[in-house]
A and B are shown apart, each in its own frame.
Chain A
Amino acid sequence: MEKWADNKAWFLVLPVFVVVAFSAIIPLMTVVNYSLQDIFGPGNAVFVGTEWFKEMLTDTRLHDALGRQFIFSSLVLMIEIPLGILIALAMPKKGWGASASLVTLAIPLLIPWNVIGTIWIIFTRPDIGLFGVGINSLNLLDVPFDHTARPSYAWVTLMAMEVWHWTPLVALLCYAGLRAIPEAYYQAAKIDGASSWAVFRYIQLPKMRGVLTIAILLRWMDSFLIYAEPFALTGGGPGNSTTFLSIYLVKLATGQFDLGPAAAFSLIYFLIVLLFCFIFYQALLNVGKGEKTS
């Protein structure tokens, strides 16, 4: 669609610009301000330049949190994307079954994030939880299951919760992508005698490319920002084994009131996210182009 060239359109964008600027630019400038100073109290601050940045870039706890974050986000993608595709393929195409599936899938997405944590605490507790009691009654583990007992148990619980919570989003996206495929494609494949694998590989998968790109990037970004669920479930423990970037940042900022280092950390964190965001945006633009030319 050819667009009108008119800079007066800025008047329409202005309200959004003002409200988002108030919520984003002013706070971000405050963070920049903190990151360059050592603050002892109100009106008592010393300019320290890049010291906090140096400190944070060499901080091993930050490196560990970043490493855990990458492992976590990669695992999330590796499990949720294939599972989501499978669920979308299995879902009924029309009728009440389709509506019921959609509603069921959407429920976990509308539960407040810390309540998700609460659900999984209650579900996996070794004394009252169905999962915890169930797995311990099998006597397979040398140490009884308790998500606060061992890092590996905490990770399993956390991954189960994450997959439970967000796979529906991937499934919904894939389902929407599948619904957009014209029936004629399937008929043509049927005439050619294509196997169901061939239909998936050469019709469904290419047609889902757009939604899959979005699903992968959304899950990557959002799992990178994860806070409330692990906060409610494990609180970052046992030890620091499930302390991800946001949790560490909040601990640093509100627990210890290390404003300078926390601000420097915030900016580093923000820049990493911004980099992903740029890649995300480029990928989205290219996906749009690909669909128009084909």
Chain B
Amino acid sequence: MKIQKRTFALLFYFLVLIVPIYWMLNMSLRSNADIMSAFSLYPSNITFENYIKVFTDHTWYSGYINAMIYVSLNTVMSLAFALPAAYAFSRFKFLGDGQMFFWLLTNRMAPPAVFLLPYFQLYSTVNLIDTHIAVALAHCLFNVPLAVWILEGFMSGIPKEIDETAFIDGYSFPRFFITLFIPLIRAGVGVTAFFCFMFSWVELLFARTLTVTEAKPIVATMTRTISATGLDWGLLAANGILTIVPGALVIWFVRNHLAKGFALGRV
């Protein structure tokens, strides 16, 4: 009986979690005139015109492509930079290691708003404004420290004897690192990639500041449209639903590692 009450409460919570998303789905399947004229708990005459518009109008669908490009770029960059550094932090004692680690973490905590102005100027100076690489690089500010932090946790779980044995067997460091060590922590790499993807995907402030048209992601397109075109709720909702899809797919792929990633508490 007690278990049932508990399950019931949990189901109620999940319902609360789902309802706002359902409501957006409901809106996305109705035309704007329909939304404004009648209040309805479910879409009575379903239309896909909002989605069709998103997929056929370049200003909308290019937003998704741009976002996917810089998010993937950022994930790859973060991992490439963070893997050797995390190895250094987990294996070596060196001058200033503690301070360096703390300094990296402060960047995870830094308010993005603080960096807004100088970023625009910095990236203008190096001619990177409105490119995917600019946003990917800017997101490294918080994703690289995060990646180092998560990977260091996974690497510290691998006994050092493995490294020693490999070096005695005549492995060079790069060969050992790429062919032996990284496969050992592939779950950690997956979890790290998940979090890098997540934080780059959800971020708005940098993505909006550093892009104009060529690399403008969907989140920026959406904020501009809210103020610009007298609020087409159906279209906005359809875009909102579509931004959830990549995240949901990624969650599905890492669902078995998710708990372990959070267990390290390094988010």
Interface residues of A (CB under 8 A from B): 1-10, 12-13, 15-17, 19-20, 22-24, 26-28, 30-31, 34, 86-87, 89-92, 99, 101-115, 118-120, 122-123, 127-131, 133, 164, 168-169, 172-173, 175-177, 179-180, 210-211, 214-215, 218, 221, 224-225, 227-228, 231-232, 245-246, 249-250, 253-254, 259, 262-263, 266-267, 269-270, 273-274, 276-278, 280-281
Number of residue pairs spanning A and B whose beta carbons lie under 8 angstroms apart: 296
Inter-subunit contact B7/A90 (CB<8 Å): yes
Q: A92–B166 Cα gap in the complex (Å)?
A: 42
Query: A-B pairs with the 7 shortest C-beta distances?
Result: A110-B247, A27-B118, A9-B92, A176-B263, A30-B118, A12-B88, A9-B88
Inter-subunit contact B265/A26 (CB<8 Å): no
In the assembled complex, B81 has its CB within 8 A of some CB on chain A: yes
Inter-subunit contact B100/A13 (CB<8 Å): yes
Instruction: Kindly list chain A residues whose C-beta atoms are within 8 Å of the C-beta of B205.
Output: 227-228, 250
Inter-subunit contact A104/B111 (CB<8 Å): no
CB distance from A18 to the nearest CB of B (A): 9
Instruction: Kindly list chain B residues whose C-beta atoms are within 8 Å of the C-beta of A130.
Output: 19, 23, 41
CB distance from A275 to the nearest CB of B (A): 10
**Interface residue stretch chosen among B50-58, B136-144, B178-186:** B136-144
Inter-subunit contact A107/B110 (CB<8 Å): no
Residue of A nearest to B83 (CB): A12
CB distance from A80 to the nearest CB of B (A): 13
Contact of A115 (CB < 8 Å), options: B94, B148, B222, B252 = B222
Residue of B nearest to A270 (CB): B114
Instruction: Kindly list chain B residues whose C-beta atoms are within 8 Å of the C-beta of A86.
Output: 9
Inter-subunit contact A110/B198 (CB<8 Å): yes
Q: Mark B101-126, 1 if CB is under 8 A from A, else 0.
A: 01011110111111111110110000
With A3-B91, A103-B251 as contacts: A16 and B144 at CB distance below 8 Å: yes
CB distance from B92 to the nearest CB of A (A): 4
* Apart from A90-B9, A273-B111, 9 more pairs, CB < 8 Å: A10-B94, A22-B137, A23-B140, A86-B9, A90-B10, A112-B218, A175-B259, A254-B116, A269-B113
